[in-house]
Amino acid sequence: MTDFAKHLENFFIKYLIGECNSSKHTIRAYRDAFTLLLIFMKDEKNINADNLQLKHLNRNVILDFLQWLEYKHKNEISTRNQRYAAIRSFCKYLQYEEPMRISEWQNIRSIKLKKNISGSFSYLSIDAIKLLLDQVPLNSSGSRRDLALLALLYDSGARVQEIADLTPDSIRFDNPNTIRLVGKGNKQRIVPLQKEQTDLLKNYIQDFGLNKFGKEKSPLFSNRIGEKLTTAGITYVLKKYAVAARLQNADLIPSKISPHIIRHSKAMHLLQGGVNLVYIRDFLGHKSIQTTEIYARADSKQKREALESVYVNVLPESNTERSWEKNPKLKDFLKSLS
């Protein structure tokens, strides 16, 4: 075992899981980052995983890796920064495990996160959400699962991984009806559900026998062989019905759609409905109100209505009479037509 392999294994098992108690979402993200690093070292540096050692890692190599992620692997800047966060954490760990090279680990950690120019994001109108859900038939158990899945994805505003991780005991049919979501950092939040959503879930759980004893910890949404539906599987379900909805009205459904767009849509609809940003923050499970404020900045409709409500016309009065109205003969002629 190379020193890189030994330390990487200890980083995951002893440090992230044993010491930091990192969430499974963090473990999965870090795993993906190092998987890509191994591919990069093999394809771009001609160093196989079997031969990769700590001495092969330095600031320039990591900078090349980040460039490769962005330009060859087509990662968004935010994804590139997330991959780098995994490497930063590994180098922080190495500072204490391999202090003889502490300057190198600090050099790698000194790489700056790339600034991401925040732009607009996509979201669906309420009519688009209705059109999307209308495409789901109810003539099979699979399609009834899809309707319960997509309706819950919108109603809860959950992240796709939070939906994938749900179990029947996450739902509480009470007054009020709620669902327990486990988000980033293993943080739990309770989200209220609408009555229509609750009725749909009750029927779905009963149809699939998920209300039976011993099924409390089973996946709420599973595939045909009973395994937990993955995030990729949920995305596939969404895109399937988006294609059908786009055939009905291409203007309502964007060409690119993802579960996160459904989450954005719910947040925008809450904001447009007058819900306070603080409540939306808690509903979405954001750590900071600054994250939630992107919806307020993006809502041009709300901005326009707010400006119109306080608008005062300070322009000088203008003559609004049209030129043809000044011509009595033309006015008499137009009247004669009736």
d(CA 204, CA 210): 8
In the predicted structure, residue 12 carries a pLDDT above the cut 90: yes
Question: Which contacts (CB < 8 Å, 24+ apart) does range 87-92 have?
Answer: 87/33, 87/37, 87/62, 89/11, 89/16, 89/30, 90/7, 90/8, 90/11, 90/34
Lowest mean pLDDT across 106-120, 150-164, 308-322: 308-322
Instruction: Copy the structure tokens of residue 301.
Output: 């409709």
Nearest one of 125, 80, 84, 126 to 108, comparing CA atoms:
84
CA atoms within a 13 Å half-sphere pointing along the CA-CB vector of 50:
0
Residues 233-257: pLDDT tens digits? 999 999 999 999 999 999 999 988 9
DSSP, res 176: S
d(CA 145, CA 153): 12
Is the backbone of residue 177 left (phi > 0), alpha (psi -120 to 50) or beta?
beta
Buried b (16+ CB within 10 A) or exposed e, 218-252: bbbbeeeeeeebebebbeebbeebbeebbeeeeeb
Lowest mean pLDDT across 60-69, 87-96, 100-109, 196-205: 196-205
Q: What is the model's pTM?
A: 0.70
In the predicted structure, residue 66 carries a pLDDT above the cut 60: yes
Contact between 90 and 38 under an 8 Å Cβ cutoff? The reply is no
Query: Strand locations in 144-186, DSSP E?
Result: 171-172, 178-182
Per-domain residue ranges of the chain: 3-109, 126-304
Beta bridge partner(s), residue 191: 179
First to last CA, the chain: 96
Instruction: Copy the structure tokens of residue 221.
Output: 């949404």
Residues 6+ apart with CB under 8 A from 65: 36, 37, 40, 87
Contact between 284 and 267 under an 8 Å Cβ cutoff? The reply is yes
Beta bridge partner(s), residue 228: 222
Kindly state the average pLDDT of the residues 68-80.
91
Beta bridge partner(s), residue 171: 179
Beta bridge partner(s), residue 188: 182
The sheet carrying 171-172 orders its strands as 171-172, 178-182, 188-192
In the predicted structure, residue 7 carries a pLDDT above the cut 70: yes
pLDDT at 40: 97
In the predicted structure, residue 336 carries a pLDDT above the cut 60: yes
d(CA 76, CA 81): 9
CA atoms within a 13 Å half-sphere pointing along the CA-CB vector of 67:
7
| Helices (H), ranges, 228-327 | 231-248, 259-272, 277-284, 289-298, 300-309
How many residues would you count in the chain? 338
What CATH number labels 126-304? 1.10.443.10
Lowest mean pLDDT across 26-35, 149-158, 268-277: 268-277
pLDDT at 34: 97
In the predicted structure, residue 117 carries a pLDDT above the cut 60: yes
In the predicted structure, residue 303 carries a pLDDT above the cut 90: no
What CATH number labels 3-109? 1.10.150
Catalytic residues: 159, 184, 260, 263, 286, 295
Task: Identify the sign of the CA torsion 285, 290, 293, 297.
Answer: negative
Nearest one of 7, 69, 78, 80 to 40, comparing CA atoms:
69
| Banded pLDDT at 316 (limits 50, 70, 90) | low
Kindly state the average pLDDT of the residues 116-124.
72
Quick check: helix, strand or coil at residue 282? Answer: helix
In the predicted structure, residue 319 carries a pLDDT above the cut 70: no
